[in-house]
Homo-oligomer: A and B are copies of this chain.
Amino acid sequence: AAGLRVTGAPQPPNILLLLMDDMGWGDLGVYGEPSRETPNLDRMAVEGMLFPNFYTANPLCSPSRAALLTGRLPIRSGFYTTNGHARNAYTPQEIVGGIPDSELLLPELLKEAGYTSKIVGKWHLGHRPQFHPLKHGFDEWFGSPNCHFGPYDNKARPNIPVYRDREMVGRFYEEFPINLKTGEANLTQIYLQEALDFIKRQQAAHRPFFLYWAIDATHAPVYASRPFLGTSQRGRYGDAVREIDDSVGRILHLLRDLSIAENTFVFFTSDNGAALISAPRQGRGAQGSPGTGTARLAPAEKELQGQNKTMKIHVPSRSWRDRSRKECLSNVTSKGPGGEPGGQTCPEGGSNGPFLCGKQTTFEGGMREPAIAWWPGHIPAGQVSHQLGNIMDLFTTSLSLAGLAPPRDRAIDGLDLLPTVLQGRLTDRPACHARVLPPSSAASLPSTEEEGPIFYYRGNTLMAVTLGQYKAHLWTWTNSWEEFRQGVDFCPGQNVSGVTTHSQEERTKLPLVFHLGRDPGERYPLSIASTEYLDALRWITPVVRQHQEALVPGQPQLNVCNRAVMTRLAVVSTAKHLEAAGAAGPAEPLPRARK
């Protein structure tokens, strides 16, 4: 059962990555959420290391997850589009692309050190058979290829499938129900059980494991199981957070119970910032009333619409979010506010704390993430590290834990965080090593070691760069005026003139620069006439230049949509419309539904 392990060699530590979906920096008590409903995560931080300056590689699910598993910026792995400036893209059902075979994923590499790997939850790196997680190094999978949007009609559009390993075992809203009205779904409990079972099995088999727990209860439509519904001060979103917090507590408890806590490296983070909700029109004084405004699309659906202009996608006249809002209000009508399960939940998004904007944007609210490292007996308790960390570091760090070096035949953006978590060291990121500072300004630069860089991309556009405490925006953009006028707002309640722009403002020649220590909310751009501004730019500019000159973008994977790709799957569960499947269907045998 020891697999490839050499008998007698010390077993490398287990690796457990807890990846949240659309959870914001400000959603944990330890990061200041006022309701403070995350006692288990807060305790995890007290027992481990908290990162206030940890980032994702992209403000959207798919590219962020590709970055985690490859250790590379999505621009390198191909998890971006070229069909729209600064256009975020992910993998909806219609998308043809996915994770290229040429990419080396963490579980593939960990096999060399004898690890057994499982993904629980959302994959999001392509849903066609060739992109299946078990073809990219995972030994087990329980979860879905896509977000739990729905329900769909299963004719023009199938519901999202749920897999156990290679087989589809059902679909969201069918075998795996999500009640949009009440917010009830049992999925987090199922994902928890999958995690606990896997850990127990691997421990019994004395095999090192990699568990990638990529749950999605905090991604809209947010859900929680019945025991947690209505238990939060924060509405339905808070219910979901409470259930996740409880689940993390149970997982860590199991590790201790099995006496493998000291041999299990655990890291908690999120794939992108909280999705802030468009400011509703209703309820402002006397003007307007709910449900009577024009239909507004949720950002994700909206994006889908723009995915391929020539394709007609079935979009309901009201998106799930509008529906959810409406139901939220009808719940209120039938049940009254507060306490009861299924009560009032709108708005349903999380919190990015003091940071600007959220998901989809390259402001801090979109990309700065909660992050906790936990490894009793190895990581000293109660530490806070100001290391500029990135989700891609989990790739390199995991390899390091397994005694493996990252691939040398390609650019790797992830940093080994072990010196940080074990010795509290602050480390430059790889891209910084070769940079040359102008001698004149070097003396006046802050003597920080945690300097970065952090690159903030949207699609294939480098929007911003952070070095040390200085962040330079090369482009500013929230979303288009057209979307904004329809009520889609990535920065509700926030408006920094010249910063939260709805036109795409190029600032590559004269970037907007913020000092993130004094001004974490990105409200006060440095004066372009100040020496500080000039020094910061002199520092950042060569780093940007070097990055862009050396960059070899991967083949973009997220450009092409084709309805046949999803319809082909739909017929499996509906046993209808087989002939409607288009030419672009998967070349390999279809997965079979098992019920």
Contacts from A to B (Cβ < 8 Å) = 26, 29-36, 50, 52-53, 232-235, 237-238, 277, 279-280, 282-287, 289-290, 329, 332-333, 335-339, 344-347, 351-354, 356, 384, 386, 441, 443-448, 468-470, 492-499, 505, 507, 510, 512-513, 515-533, 535-536
Contacts and interface: CB of A to CB of B under 8 A. Distances in A.
A499 B285 CA distance: 9
Given A337-B532, A354-B353, A285 B444 contact: no
Contacts of A521: 351, 493
A448 B525 CA distance: 43
A536 B338 CA distance: 10
A35 B335 CA distance: 43
Given A346-B524, A510-B286, A444 B335 contact: yes
Nearest to A533: B283
Nearest to A520: B34
A353 B356 contact: no
A595 to B, nearest CB: 38
Contacts of A290: 527, 529-530
**Secondary structure of the A contact surface, majority rule:** loop
Contacts of A528: 282-283, 285-286, 289
Contact of A532 (B31, B332, B447, B499): B332
18 contacts: A26-B32, A35-B52, A235-B515, A235-B518, A283-B513, A283-B529, A284-B498, A284-B512, A285-B498, A285-B528, A290-B530, A336-B443, A336-B535, A337-B515, A337-B532, A338-B468, A344-B515, A354-B354
Contact of A332 (B33, B35, B333, B530): B530
Q: Copy number in this complex? A: 2
Contact of A469 (B233, B352, B507): B233
A562 to B, nearest CB: 38
B496 A493 contact: yes
A411 B493 CA distance: 38
Contacts of A536: 337
A333 to B, nearest CB: 5
A55 to B, nearest CB: 12
* Minimum-distance CB pairs A-B, first 3: A32-B32, A336-B444, A338-B446
Contacts of A279: 496-497, 523-524
A531 B337 contact: yes
B285 A336 contact: no
Contacts of A516: 34
Contact of A338 (B30, B469, B495): B469
Contacts of A512: 283-285
A103 B533 CA distance: 53
Nearest to A441: B336
Contacts of A526: 283
B492 A523 contact: yes
A551 to B, nearest CB: 26
B517 A446 contact: no
Contacts of A277: 524
Contacts of A346: 518, 524
Contacts of A515: 235, 337, 344
B282 A529 contact: yes
Contacts of A520: 34, 351
A180 B499 CA distance: 30
A74 B515 CA distance: 39
A505 to B, nearest CB: 7
Given A279-B497, A290-B530, A344 B518 contact: yes
A75 B523 CA distance: 35
